[in-house]
Amino acid sequence: MKSEKILPLKKVKKIIYIPYDKSITHRGLIFSVISKNKSVIINPLKALDTLSTLKILTKLDCKITEKNDYLEIIPPKKILSLVPLDCGNSGTTARLMIGMLSSLEGSFQLIGDDSLSKRPMKRIIEPILKNGGEIISDDNFLPIIIKGKKIKKIEYDLKIASAQVKSGLILCGLNCKEQSIIRGRIDSRDHTERILSAFNCDLQINSKNIIINPSRPKDIVLKIPGDFSSASFFITLGVLHKNAEIILKNIGLNPSRTGYLNILKKMGADIEINLKDDIEPYGDIKVRSSKLKNVNIPNEIIPNIIDEIPLLSLCGALSQGEFKINDISELRLKESDRIRSITENFKNIGLKVIEKNETLIIKGDQKIKGGIFNSFKDHRIAMLGGICGLLSEEGIEIKDSECVNISFPNFFDIIKQL
């Protein structure tokens, strides 16, 4: 088990290139399995999570060729079944594969590592079972067996805003016999809807529902931008550090992902954006040292800032006024219980925090002293510790730091270059 000691930073003026987007890479790879022709995925993220998806594509008999900065993927003529498909630590891989494979002919076994095997799959398994799918599991956890078949249709009201569940159900609906419809909490990341609509899938989308007509994507050509969630760590460093100017290049700026930027601007952050349009909008972000004031955070924005809540909590502790965020129960179901991870680590490094059920309350105008930061083997918590170390008075030691390889393998290399 590896540790990293991060010391305080006196000044930072830097142009930073962030690894490519994890969520979009997963989707580009998975959608290529059911495409009509060859797909090209430009700038795919190479990290542990996305490599899990790539290995599954190989087991499903996709033909994959790597050429410089892109992958060519030829879909299988017949999808192989009866082989264990290892999702590793990736919840996105598991939930999207459950949806896609449930409406394809064949028997499939999905497995995952110890962490993923404790994460809830009921939210994707239940709607598929209710609509005639066949999935065998032990209390809705991995490992599971999917007995794929042509399902009549998917009709479901989402109770929670989950892009992974929504995407899994859309993938299932594309191969159903009849038109499918998803209602309810569809207000989460819309990468799946954007990409599939751009490549020939028949989706009708409005604020109340998503209608899915049986269809398949054509030859996908998808360019992956920089990962906004990864960029957020250095956005946070830029606005909180007392002597900073950071430029982040070619970052994904999908409006369903950038709620964190909107909140920081309301808090008084000095942020400039150069937006470029594409299937997935992207651009450069410049951030400078800022004096922040805590603001009210509406509950309805939580699904679009879910990955950035640990960073937002750090901003809350170092900004003027009291920080309070409600309705964050989803954080308990990530790679770690992130509410507990934030609370325990903040106390370890000298920050006062109150945890009340699914609410965090943090007094503002605090300072980070230093100490030990436990990653709980959660990549985003490890990276949070890295930013805390740069902003601290005495430095911070991050335990089990190698878990950053899940999404941002060179995170600590970039920090050391600063």
Active site amino acids: 307
Sign of the C-alpha dihedral, residues 149, 151, 157, 163?
positive
Q: Which amino acid is at 309?
A: I
In angstroms, rounded to a whole number, what is the distance separating the alpha carbons of residues 358 and 344? 15
Could you tell me which residues come within 8 angstroms of residue 25 by beta carbon, excluding any fewer than 6 positions away? 41, 44, 45, 50, 53, 224
Tokens 């290529």: give the residue.
32
Residue 89: alpha-carbon gap to chain centroid: 12
Cα–Cα distance, 253 to 191 (Å, whole number): 11
The token pair at 220 is 């996908």
Q: Return d(Cα 202, Cα 376) in angstroms, integer.
A: 42
* Nearest CA among 45, 36, 91 for reference residue 71: 45
Q: What is the DSSP letter of 226?
A: B
Q: Which residue has the tokens 């609410």?
A: 359
* Strand ranges across the sheet with 221-223: 63-67, 70-74, 39-42, 221-223
- Give the other-Cβ count within 10 Å of 407's Cβ: 26
**Structural contact between residues 124 and 98, judged by C-beta atoms closer than 8 angstroms:** yes
What CA–CA distance (Å, rounded) separates 80 from 31?
16
What residues contact 387, with CB distance under 8 A and at least 6 apart? 233, 234, 236, 237, 240, 311, 314
Is the Cβ–Cβ distance between 242 and 289 less than 8 Å? yes
- Beta strand 106-111 with 135-138: parallel, antiparallel or unpaired? unpaired
Distance separating alpha carbons of residues 390 and 7, to the nearest angstrom? 6
